[in-house]
Amino acid sequence: MHILFNGQLMAAEELRLSLSNRAFQYNDGFFETMIVKDGVIRFWQDHVERIQEATKVLRLQLPVEFTSINLLENNLLRLAETHNAFANGRLKLKVWRGGAGLFTPETNAAEWLATVQATVPAKAVPVHMGVCQTVHTSYSPFSSFKGPHALLYVLAGTEKKETAFDDLLLLSCDGSMAELISSNLFWYWNNTLYTPALETGCVNGILRRNIIRYCKGEGIAVQEVKMKLNDLPANATVFAGNVTGIKLIHKLNNKDLTVSCTFVDKLQADLKLR
């Protein structure tokens, strides 16, 4: 297995990280998960935007390898090709603050690591969703990207393993619907697309951005809301989505939900998620 570490292609076993590494010591960074499909990184420009947003919030200084986005993309795709992941693969880009230091860092210069694995496209199956009881989302300047709040999702995933549910709905501290463990939440009702507002503490997902952009372009009303679970319309089409694709929610706790595939099927086809 090969990796990219600070722009250098190397065997994974050659990687040496210091015990003072700030990603290990303080979770001082973020990550991006990207999908490679037929030699293209899906939604690449949106990933670039979120990388820039995260580095600005965390006050990181990106290394020279990030000055040419085209070069970075080509290097990531070459990494995918070395792992037979050029047709179907999952890339993970991790970025963290370099140097040592305690809570006050020595430097803001960032280091980075990219890994990849080949994947087999999975058939989407309807999801039986429960409600997370142990943790809640909360809004912060860095809740919209991945990494700083990772423990929240780990604990939600741990709770899910103890249940019969396929996924769990996370609620914000005020009880508003926020997101699933690794997906954004959507519901389509009365010719309008609804999704939790970023103020609920949900991640500003890459697919979330694209679905909102697509609907606005198609003249479909979009509402980003803070809504309690009890206010979810009984006949809404509920689904979850992330960069890997879209999954319909067919059951919430013990309640069957309306499953209408027409809107979701068109969404998947037009966004080329299949």
Name the amino acid, one letter, at 107: T
Share of the chain above pLDDT 90, in %: 91
pLDDT, averaged across the chain = 95
**168 and 91 co-located in one domain:** no
Mean pLDDT within 9-29: 94
**69 and 174 co-located in one domain:** no
pLDDT in tens, 141-163: 999 999 988 999 999 999 999 99
Mean pLDDT within 227-235: 95
**132 and 261 co-located in one domain:** yes
Contacts 24+ apart (CB under 8 A), 217-224: 220/191, 220/192, 220/193, 221/191, 221/192, 221/193, 222/192, 222/193, 222/194, 222/195, 223/192, 223/193, 223/194, 223/195, 224/194, 224/195, 224/196, 224/197, 224/198
Using the predicted structure, report yes or no on whether residue 174 has a pLDDT greater than 90: yes
Q: Quote the pLDDT of residue 260.
A: 76
Using the predicted structure, report yes or no on whether residue 259 has a pLDDT greater than 90: no
Domain finish residue from 84, 118, 152: 118
Domain finish residue from 88, 118, 148: 118
Mean pLDDT within 74-84: 95
Give the DSSP letter of residue 124: P
As for how many domains the chain has, the answer is: 2
- The parent domain of residue 29 ranges over 2-118
Q: Quote the pLDDT of residue 272.
A: 87
Contacts 24+ apart (CB under 8 A), 214-220: 214/267, 214/270, 214/271, 220/191, 220/192, 220/193
**104 and 158 co-located in one domain:** no
Q: Quote the pLDDT of residue 112.
A: 97
CATH of the domain at 58: 3.30.470.10
Using the predicted structure, report yes or no on whether residue 125 has a pLDDT greater than 90: no
The residue among 44, 243, 37, 2 whose CA lies nearest residue 146 is: 243
Mean pLDDT within 229-249: 95
Using the predicted structure, report yes or no on whether residue 2 has a pLDDT greater than 90: yes
**261 and 184 co-located in one domain:** yes
Using the predicted structure, report yes or no on whether residue 242 has a pLDDT greater than 80: yes
Using the predicted structure, report yes or no on whether residue 274 has a pLDDT greater than 80: no
Q: Residue 227's pLDDT band (boundaries 50, 70, 90)?
A: very high
Helices (H), 17-170: 22-26, 44-58, 69-82, 150-161
**143 and 25 co-located in one domain:** no
User: Which of 22-36, 101-115, 120-134 has the weakest average pLDDT?
Assistant: 120-134
**Following DSSP, what letter does each residue of 166-231 receive, concatenated?**
SEEEEEBTTSBEEEESSSEEEEEETTEEEEE-GGGT----HHHHHHHHHHHHTT-EEEEE--BGGG
More confident residue, 126 or 47: 47
